Structure 1
Amino acid sequence: MINCIAVSHNLELIINCPLDELDQEHIKWFWIDFNKPTDEEIGELDRSLHFHPLAIEDCIHKLQRPKLDYYEDYCFFVTHSLNPYEVEKEEINFFLGENYIVSFHHQESKPVYEVWERLKAAKKVSKWDQILVLYHIIDKLVDNYFPIVYQLEEALDQIENNTAEKSMEQLLEQLFDTRHYLLKLRHTVIPMRDLLYRMLNSHRLKGIKLKQEYFADIYDHLLKLTEMIEANRELTNDIRDSYLSLNSHQTNRIMRVLTVITTIFMPLTFIAGVYGMNFENMPELRWDIGYFVILFIMLGIGIGMFFWFKKKGWFN
């Protein structure tokens, strides 16, 4: 679907303006949105708008890295939004010209829809232009990152405190899932941060230079997100190391108890083995109380070794 909205020099909104009328003199600036376009609609990027084939190719091929490309009379942006339910990247592309902006996305985009409706309902169209449209969309993209980060932080708190009283295996599995989502976030936020840095420091984006404070605010948000993600990744490392150390400590305690038990039974097994050989010249085998004497000796050895190991602190 191709949607188009234009603003005339008389500051009137023209909704669903035909593409072939956008170059008329009464049009001040316009915004075209390609929402889940068909192959035929994608062809309009070349036929009607005459964009560079490489930029069109980047639109067709999904999940390009966030970037900024310069062309003769326009700039091409690749940005990433995040699906909050699956923490999956979704690409939104922009063509920014002197008096227009074109947005392109293969899936429904809530930020684009919200800005579109906001522009339609605007009472003072004079404050709007293509640069402000780009700012509002990117700002909403970045703002939508925060709830995902906060949700992952809450999950980490639950893992650290084990409020659900899960087993160590379940906690580690949940921890690695959270770490995987943080890695996905990192792969989105850092390239977006680098993109905003290029936009702020580019001498060819004069319109953005005039509204630098707006885009600098987005850049600050991305810096904050980067710090939060890195801090949470370090926290996952600390929690993982703590659980692995605890697991190793518990294993060592179990092995120590088993070692004590094995050590206590070693002399008892030796005595039982000696008197289990059944040689004829073993006088103890003919004692009437020999069996009970040997049991008493074995019991005494076991109890004695137990208290000796306990005194050494092997059961602490």
Structure 2
Amino acid sequence: MIKTIAVKNNYELVKDVAIVDLLKGEYKWYWIDFHLPTDEEIEYLRDPFHFHPLAIEDCINHLQRPKLDYYEDHTFFITQSLNHQTLKRDEIDFFLGENYIVSFHLNPSTEIEAVWKRFIESTNIEKWEPTHVLYLVLDKMVDSYFPQVFKIEERLTEIDENSRGRSMEALLEDLFDTRHHLLSLRHTISPMRDLIYRVLNSQRLTSIQEKREYYSDIHDHLLKLTEMIEANRELTTDIRDSYISLNSHQTNHVMKVLTVITTIFMPLSFIAGLYGMNFRYMPGLSSKYGFFSTLILMVLVAMGMSLWFKKKGWFK
């Protein structure tokens, strides 16, 4: 589907203008949105727009890395938004010319729809222009990243608070899922940050340089998001290492207790084994109190070793 909207020289807004009429140059500027286009509608990019074949190829071949390409009479942008439910990336492409902006996306875009509606309902059409539309869509994209990062931070806080008493398998599974989501966000946000940085430092995009402070604000948000993602990735590592260390400490404590118990019973096992040998003549075998004396000796040995271990601090 193709939607069109145009601004006349007297700043009157006109919707659903035929593409042929838009190209006659009778309008101050216009915006065309290719929303889930068919193969026949995609051909409009070749004729009558005559966009560069490489840019058209990038539009069709989904999913490309965010980038900026300069051509003779237009500039081509590839941007990425996030699906709020699946966290998958959706590509939105833009052709920016002197008096037009063309958006192209193969999936529904809430950002495009929001800016389109805002444009139609605006009472100050004079401030609108192609670079302003591009800024608003990019700003909506970047703003949609923040809830995803905040949701991951809340999840990490929940994991950290409930880490005690959980099995290592369940905890590590949650941490790896969180790290996977963070990696997916980083693969979207980092290229977008680089794209905006290139836009800000481009000498060819003079119309955007006039709105430099707006695009700088987007870049600042992307820098903040990058720092938040890296901090959260480090937090997942810290939680994992802390839990593994705690688990190792508990295991070592158990092993220490078992070692102490084994050590105490070693001399007792030796005494019991010594008197369990089937020799006919052994000291104490004919004694009336030999059995009880041996038991008392074993108890005294066990108590003596326990007190000695306690003094050494082995029971802490």
SS at match of 1:43: helix
CA distance in 2, matches of 1:306, 1:227: 54
Mapping 1:223-242, distance limit 5 Å: 223-242=223-242
Q: Could you tell me how far 1:78 is from its partner in structure 2?
A: 0.9
TM-score (norm 2): 0.93
Structure 1 residue aligned with 2:270 = 270
Q: Counterpart amino acid of 1:225?
A: L
> In the TM superposition, what whole-angstrom CA distance separates every residue of 1:238-280 from its partner, at most 9, and x where no partner exists?
2222222211211111111111111111112222222333123
CA distance in 1, matches of 2:217, 2:307: 70
Q: Could you tell me how far 1:106 is from its partner in structure 2?
A: 1.6
> In the TM superposition, what whole-angstrom CA distance separates every residue of 1:168-201 from its partner, at most 9, and x where no partner exists?
5233332332222222222211111111010011
Structure 1 residue aligned with 2:147 = 147
Q: Could you tell me how far 1:48 is from its partner in structure 2?
A: 2.8
> In the TM superposition, what whole-angstrom CA distance separates every residue of 1:186-234 from its partner, at most 9, and x where no partner exists?
2211111111010011011111011111111111111111222222222
Q: Counterpart amino acid of 1:82?
A: L
Mapping 1:69-148, distance limit 5 Å: 69-148=69-148
CA distance in 1, matches of 2:85, 2:287: 80
Structure 2 residue aligned with 1:304 = 304
User: Could you say if the C-alpha distance between residues 284 and 218 of structure 1 is closer, same or farther in structure 2, counting changes exceeding 3 Å?
Assistant: same
CA distance in 2, matches of 1:223, 1:50: 36
CA distance in 2, matches of 1:48, 1:280: 114
Conserved in 2, the CA contact under 8 Å of 1:35 and 1:106?
Answer: yes
> In the TM superposition, what whole-angstrom CA distance separates every residue of 1:98-145 from its partner, at most 9, and x where no partner exists?
111111112111110000111111122221111111000000000111
296-305 vs 62-71, which deviates more? Answer: 296-305
139-148 vs 292-301, which deviates more? Answer: 292-301
CA distance in 2, matches of 1:185, 1:224: 13
110-119 vs 262-271, which deviates more? Answer: 262-271
Conserved in 2, the CA contact under 8 Å of 1:83 and 1:89?
Answer: yes
TM-score (norm 1): 0.93
| Alignment partner of 1:292 is 2:267 | no
CA distance in 2, matches of 1:91, 1:201: 23
CA distance in 1, matches of 2:131, 2:231: 33
Q: Counterpart amino acid of 2:92?
A: I
Q: Could you tell me how far 1:295 is from its partner in structure 2?
A: 2.4
CA distance in 1, matches of 2:254, 2:172: 21
Q: Could you tell me how far 1:8 is from its partner in structure 2?
A: 1.9
CA distance in 2, matches of 1:182, 1:108: 23
Conserved in 2, the CA contact under 8 Å of 1:168 and 1:243?
Answer: no
CA distance in 1, matches of 2:161, 2:78: 40
Mapping 1:22-33, distance limit 5 Å: 22-33=22-33
| Alignment partner of 1:35 is 2:53 | no
Q: Percent identity?
A: 60
SS at match of 2:113: helix
Q: Counterpart amino acid of 1:277?
A: M
CA distance in 1, matches of 2:270, 2:191: 69
Structure 2 residue aligned with 1:46 = 46
SS at match of 1:90: strand
| Alignment partner of 1:279 is 2:282 | no
Structure 2 residue aligned with 1:21 = 21
Q: Counterpart amino acid of 1:128?
A: W
SS at match of 2:95: strand
CA distance in 1, matches of 2:154, 2:66: 28
Q: Counterpart amino acid of 2:264?
A: I
SS at match of 2:29: strand
> In the TM superposition, what whole-angstrom CA distance separates every residue of 1:67-126 from its partner, at most 9, and x where no partner exists?
111111111111111122232221111111111111111211111000011111112222
Conserved in 2, the CA contact under 8 Å of 1:68 and 1:75?
Answer: yes
Instruction: Give the number of equivalent residue pairs.
Output: 315
User: Could you say if the C-alpha distance between residues 166 and 66 of structure 1 is closer, same or farther in structure 2, counting changes exceeding 3 Å?
Assistant: farther
